[in-house]
Structure formats: structure tokens, C-alpha cells
Amino acid sequence: MTATPPDTSTSSTADRGPLAPDVEGVLVVDKPLGVTSHDVVAKVRRIVGSKPGRRGKRKGPKVGHAGTLDPDASGVLVVCIGRATKLVPYLQASQKTYDARMRLGRTTDTLDNEGVETSRTDASHITEEMVCEALHAFVGDIEQIPPMVSAVKVDGERLYEKARRGEEVERKPRPVTIHDIVMADFDPGDQPSTSFLVTCTAGTYVRTLAADVGERLGVGAHLTGLRRLGSGRFSIEDATSLETLQVMAEEGTFGEAVMSMADAMADYPAVALDAEQAALVSNGRGIPATGHDGPVSILDPAGQLIAVMRDQGRLARPEVVFN
């Protein structure tokens, strides 16, 4: 899966300063192939005027993403701007939906198209029914071993950094949940290919899923395409391309692509407060328990997100306060 990455340079933007300096909220980007998640964040930083300052501190609003998408994958990448970066732990925890394609009868050392071939097998006897059955065998709570080429840290270092040096280390299985798999098509042959839609928890490696399906069928497999269609409440229909975002920034309409923090947290229960209670929460005070399990969005009378709280006994206490 190779692609020529789009030009993400913004030298003209840097020359004339930030195009959208006062924007805050959540942006849903349609990340193209060949671009890293960090590249996307860097592009947005330039647009909103976030740049390195002294002693490691950045000038301008913070920018960060809520869940890495590999360079050889495209689709939904959630980017948080300003105070919305405090929402990253809540937004990246949501379930994901992917459109994936895999080829049977061939394995690689990276579990995808980018790696070196490690085995090749005649898989012409594999049928559509066999693949469908193998895919469905992974629906539910399963354990996955992260691939060596991944951002998981072992001994304080990313696995992909170790892989670049030719190292391979033991990785502990991680629990994930596959909520649903729907097979979309099947192309028979010596090395059959198939595409499928998968809905899963955050932290699921679809590359590993493809490899495990191939192993179950006894012929091996690797991932040949991956597009993230959804991340929590954010879908590909909500996403905007980098090229369009640049044009919007130059036209002064960049803010139209940015979602409010309250809307971004719509997957979580919300409690609206009156002005007096909102003032207490803004100062870090607790309120009577909300009756909800897990994080709760707290809104002021204007519907703005002012905190994320969690019940602790008779009180709900702030985890994050926006003031």
C-alpha cells in the first residue's frame, strides 16, 4: 500500500502567521495514505499558530490526535485543538470501524503490504464460506499480540523503533473486543483476497486480525488495505481532507470544520447545570452524584462543556475542568 503523500508544507502560511488563531474544539480529518498522524497534527498546528517556544513549551493552542492511524491507512483521524486536547483520553477510548482488505496465502514481517515476504502458500482451495467462518470465529472478546511494527512501548521504547534495528522482543497479549465483522467480497485464486468491515474496541490491530485469520485457515494472510470509517461518534462523513482544510483556512472558514467540545463528547451522558452550580464546578468543586457510571459531560446554562466529572459516592467530582 504505497502512495505519494500530499504536499503538507505550509511555508506561505508560516510567512504570514496563523490563518485560524482563535479556533478551539475537535476536528475530524480524512487522513490520506502515506501521511503520518503526526504530519496531520503538524499541519493543523501551523494553521492555528501552535509552534515551539522556550523550555519545550509551545506557543499558541495545543494540538493533538485522539488515536494513531498508521501511514499506510486512511480515514478518520480525530484532532483536538486548544483545551479540547484534555478530551483525548475520552475520545480515543471509543470503538472503531474499519474497511479492511487482506490477501491469503502470503505473509510479511509487518503483517501488511509494506513488509518483506516471509511465506507464500497456494491458497486456491480456500472458499468464501471458509473465510467467512474464520472471520466470525474472532467476534467477541479475544487476545492479540501487538505487531513489532507498532507504537506499543516495551521497556520505554516504541516497538517500531526496535523493529527498525532488526530486533524482535516478546510482546504480551492484550485483550480487545471484536464487536462485529461483515464480509464484503471475495476474490478467489491462488492467493484469494477479501474485504470486510470490522467494528472493534480501541487498541485492536486489524493487521494482527488478518494474520490470525490466515493462520486459522492454515495459509497465512496479510493486510493489503485499511480505511478507518468511524471512531466513536465521528464518521468518515464528518471528515474533511487536508487540502480542503487548507483552503478553508485561507478563506477564513476553518472554524466551520471544527466541532464544539460539547458536541464531541456526545457519546457520554451529559448533565446541564444552573449558573450557581456551574460556577462551583468551574472552581473545581463537586456536585451531587449524577447517577451515571463513568465519565459525565457537565454543561453550563449556555450548553458549553465546562467539565468532565465522575461519581464518587454521594458526589460527582471533576476529572477535567475547562476554565
Catalytic residue among 15, 30, 70, 180: 70
What are the b/e assignments for 1-11, b being 16+ CB within 10 Å?
A: beeeebebebe
Query: What CA–CA distance (Å, rounded) separates 281 from 289?
Result: 13
Q: List the beta bridge partners of residue 259.
A: 26
Q: In this structure, what C-alpha cell is assigned to residue 302?
A: 449556555
Concatenating the DSSP letter of every residue in 31-77 gives EPTT--HHHHHHHHHHHHT-EE-GGGPEES--EEESS---TT-EEEE
Are the C-beta atoms of 302 and 314 separated by less than 8 Å?
no
Q: Is 39 a catalytic residue?
A: no
The greatest distance separating any two alpha carbons of the chain, rounded to the nearest whole angstrom, comes to: 71
Query: What CA–CA distance (Å, rounded) separates 69 from 30?
Result: 11
Q: Annotated catalytic sites, by residue?
A: 70
